[in-house]
Structure 1
Amino acid sequence: MTHNHQAEAETRIRSAMQRLLAGSVPDGLKCDVKSLCTLAGVPRATLYRTYPHLKAEFDRQRTAAQDAGQQPDTRLAQIERLKAEVATLRERLSRKNVELDALKEFQVTALSRIAAQQDAITSLRRELEAAQERRLRPVPRR
């Protein structure tokens, strides 16, 4: 490789690094070394053999961004966001299931009480009707 060709390749690699780390990840690619090489038009073997310092710099910057709470790869950021949302929804579902169980228990208790009250009302009505029949019957004379 000539010095001019190496400088051009290094410029393409740095440009691809900036693009990936800025979050501008093209469809089908990730924020990784393979995608870096694809964007830069440089074989991975060349990156590892000729530009290990750029690979190390890319890895450092990507790790630093992730440690700072930034996710250059929007798909990975979306995955993390969706994982958090799933965890929240599972927790919410668990709380709702506990609440539903309590409501079902309340329903059973309420229906049982209503049935007992209905039995009591029916029994009282029978007693009332029997008492009214006794009161309305003529008393036999002796």
Structure 2
Amino acid sequence: MRISAAQKTENENRIRAAMDRLLRGEMPPGGKCDIKTLANEAAVDRTAFYGTRTYAHLRAEFERRLQALQQAGDIPDPHEAQIARLKAENAKLKDRLAKSEQTIDELTDFRTQALARLAAQHEETVRLREAALGTSRVSRPPTPRTTVIGTCS
């Protein structure tokens, strides 16, 4: 079924208005920033956007504008923005977890080395004490005898 020029112009105006709303981030409930939602919002058959159909040039314009926004870092679809934010947060958390695991490994190694050193020091202390007790038989020189030198009478 062919549409008149006036109907085509009216449809294009509705499509452009819906396109602007979607690219500003005004999504309908359950909608995304895509051709399907654009067609639903403009009340136009989605197949009219593909191939050499009536509104294929508007699909190309929509995709070009959407890509330009995404390259500029602006994601109009709140759902897609949330996904991008969560992916970035997930990457940060994975990095943080890896650093924490590395720190735990380093501290575990340090603890093991410290315990080994303490055990070695304890053994050395025990050995030195035993050696000191074993040689503690210090002989004292005998006390000198005092001789009385007698007086001769």
Shorter-chain TM-score tier: 0.7 to 0.9
- Take 2:133 and 2:26, find their aligned partners in 1: how far apart are those partners? 86
From 21, 26, 36, the counterpart of 1:19:
21
TM-score by length of 1: 0.81
121, 128, 136: which one pairs with 2:125? 121
Q: For 1:87 and 1:47, how far apart are their aligned partners in 2? A: 37
Aligned length in residues:
136
Task: Using structure 2 for the length normalisation, give the TM-score.
Answer: 0.75
Gaps of 5+ in 2: 139-153
Give me the identity figure in percent.
46
1:54 aligns with 58
**Which one of 38, 41, 53 corresponds to residue 40 of structure 2?**
38
Q: Deviations over 1:50-69 (max 9, x none)?
A: 22221121111111111222
Q: What are the superposed Cα offsets for residues 81-100 of structure 1, whole Å, 9 maximum, x if unpaired? A: 22222222222222222222
Alignment-mate amino acid for residue 26 of structure 1: P
**SS of 2:33 mapped into structure 1:** coil
Displacement of 1:116: 1.3
Higher helix share: 1
Larger of the two Rg values belongs to structure? 2
Higher relative contact order (CA 8 A, sep 6+): 1
Which blocks of at least 5 consecutive residues in structure 1 are unaligned?
A: 136-142
Displacement of 1:36 after TM fit?
A: 0.5
Alpha-carbon deviations, 1:75-116, whole Å to 9, x = none? 222222222222222222222222221111111110001111
Q: Determine the C-alpha separation between the residues in 2 that align with 1:27 and 1:107.
A: 56
In structure 2, distance between residues paired with 1:121 and 1:25: 76
Alignment of 1:46-85 (within 5 A): 46-48=48-50, 49-85=53-89
Tell me how far 1:26 sits from its aligned partner: 2.3
Matched residue type, 2:29: D
Partners in 1 of 2:103 and 2:47 — Cα distance? Answer: 59
Q: 1:88 maps to what in 2?
A: 92
SS, match of residue 50 in structure 1:
coil
Q: Which residue of 2 aligns with 1:110?
A: 114
